[in-house]
């Protein structure tokens, strides 16, 4: 009778090892979740800062009154080229983050309360805002520089006919 209620040491060891493996895997998953959320928070803050700084720079450029060609910001087009490349890279990063967010949504090991999906959404939103602010900054520079350029000596055109006549001459 005693032998029927007795637990075999091999079974206990098997159960204990299985629980230990599950716990270790769970700890690794929790560690990965924590790192992902922390990194995404840092990225969000960085892109929020980029957006804010771009907005302030845009405001400063728009407040500046161009007085001539010497006031041009991007005479050789290098700033525009740099901003265009930066905007392209930012779009690529957004695509990567969207793919990672989609993976997190589909991962059965993650729970809504883990905050992983939300952290990716926050980064993507911050990247989007930074992209928009940098694009506005680029256009502020282009418009400022266009206002600084000479008007070909013929002044502002009063009509389309005057403009076409100047182009054809």
Which pLDDT belongs to residue 23?
60
Which pLDDT belongs to residue 152?
45
In sequence order, the 6+-apart residues with CB closer than 8 A to the CB of 115 are 33, 37
In sequence order, the 6+-apart residues with CB closer than 8 A to the CB of 168 are none
Which pLDDT belongs to residue 15?
65
Which pLDDT belongs to residue 12?
64
Contact (CB, 8 A) for 101 and 117? yes
pTM, rounded to two decimals: 0.74
- The low-confidence residues of the chain, meaning pLDDT below 50, are 1, 152
**pLDDT tens digits for range 63-91:** 988 777 778 899 899 999 999 999 999 99
Which pLDDT belongs to residue 1?
47
Contact (CB, 8 A) for 46 and 127? no
């Amino acid at each position: 009778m005693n032998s029927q209620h007795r637990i075999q040491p091999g079974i206990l060891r098997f159960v204990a090892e299985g629980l230990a493996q599950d716990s270790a895997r769970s700890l690794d998953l929790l560690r990965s979740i924590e790192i992902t959320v922390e990194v995404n928070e840092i990225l969000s803050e960085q892109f929020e800062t980029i957006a804010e700084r771009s907005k302030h720079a845009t405001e400063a450029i728009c407040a500046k009154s161009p007085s001539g060609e010497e006031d041009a910001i991007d005479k050789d087009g290098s700033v525009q080229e740099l901003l265009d490349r930066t905007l392209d890279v930012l779009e690529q990063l957004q695509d990567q983050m969207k793919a990672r967010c989609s993976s997190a949504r589909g991962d059965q090991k993650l729970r809504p309360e883990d905050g992983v999906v939300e952290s990716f959404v926050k980064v993507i939103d911050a990247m989007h805002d930074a992209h928009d602010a940098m694009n506005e900054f680029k256009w502020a520079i282009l418009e400022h520089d266009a206002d600084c350029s000479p008007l070909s000596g013929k002044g502002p055109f009063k009509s389309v006919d005057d403009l076409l006549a100047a182009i054809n001459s």
